[in-house]
């Protein structure tokens, strides 16, 4: 995990349930409160995000602080039956929210279109911890999944967007059609970088990313014929290959 930059600040805290810390950007926040990472703190100003994922995300109206997204780090698979949000403590260097926060900052420094990270939080409780991240809400965007279902997606733009990130070595751990967002002007963003990492660009992991994206397009196809989804992905893949060849 990358080291601190000049604007990072780490604030430890202790509450009735355990102890932890908040890592935040001093240019964006003066002093975040641990309560901010509990959606109940915001009341009606917190609205669940319904598009994609397993839940655990809310749109937050922070008043003068603007609009944000709060996302808790959840577990999938069979272990989720034991606990949806408790992770094995392996030291502060392995805290998932801190890793994503820092990765977002690196990606923004490389001029890639990602949300701004405001703050990352964890609270340790014995041998486990819980984590969350607070970040910029992107206004007026729709996911590739939603756009494709409505027949309004630019698959070429999606392919070029993925190639742009791959050129920078971003191996997305869950590249699916909900994690590519576009506004009405066709500008695209990538989101949700939990467990993602920067690597040397190589065929293996790039192909794995694209295969995952292809599966997600089929999964969210609804009533659209399989042949239509395949044609959409072929367009995306052609644009990706062209962008890769020209170095984006």
What six digits make up the tokens of 78?
């069979």
**Helical residues (DSSP H) of the chain, grouped into ranges:** 39-42, 96-109, 144-149, 155-167, 203-219, 226-245
Alpha-carbon distance 175 to 192, whole Å?
9
Q: Which residues are catalytic?
A: 174
Q: Please, are residues 154 and 77 in contact by the beta-carbon 8 Å criterion?
A: no
Q: Please, are residues 25 and 15 in contact by the beta-carbon 8 Å criterion?
A: no
Alpha-carbon distance 144 to 195, whole Å?
21
Residue 204 burial (CB < 10 Å; 0-12/13-18/19+)?
exposed
Residue with structure tokens 């990352």?
120
């Amino acid at each position: 995990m990358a080291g601190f930059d000049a604007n990072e600040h780490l604030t430890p805290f202790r509450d009735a349930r355990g102890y932890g810390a908040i890592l935040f950007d001093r240019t964006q926040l003066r002093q975040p409160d641990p309560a901010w990472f509990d959606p109940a703190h915001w009341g009606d100003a917190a609205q669940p995000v319904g598009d994609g994922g397993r839940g655990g995300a809310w749109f937050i109206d922070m008043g003068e602080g603007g609009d944000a997204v709060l996302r808790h780090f959840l577990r999938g698979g069979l272990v989720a039956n034991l606990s949806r949000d408790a992770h094995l403590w392996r030291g502060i260097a392995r805290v998932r929210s801190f890793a994503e926060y820092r990765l977002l900052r690196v990606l923004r420094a490389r001029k890639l279109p990602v949300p701004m990270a405001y703050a990352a939080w964890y609270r340790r409780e014995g041998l486990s911890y819980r984590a969350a991240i607070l970040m910029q809400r992107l206004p007026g965007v729709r996911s590739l999944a939603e756009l494709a279902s409505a027949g309004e997606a630019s698959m070429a733009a999606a392919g070029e967007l993925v190639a742009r990130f791959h050129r920078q070595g971003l191996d997305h751990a869950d590249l699916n059609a909900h994690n590519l967002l576009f506004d009405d002007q066709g500008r695209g963003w990538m989101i949700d970088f939990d467990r993602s990492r920067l690597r040397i660009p190589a065929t293996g992991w790039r192909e794995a990313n694209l295969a995952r994206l292809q599966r997600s397009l089929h999964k969210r196809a609804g009533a659209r014929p399989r042949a239509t989804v395949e044609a959409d992905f072929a367009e995306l893949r052609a644009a990706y290959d062209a962008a890769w060849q020209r170095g984006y």
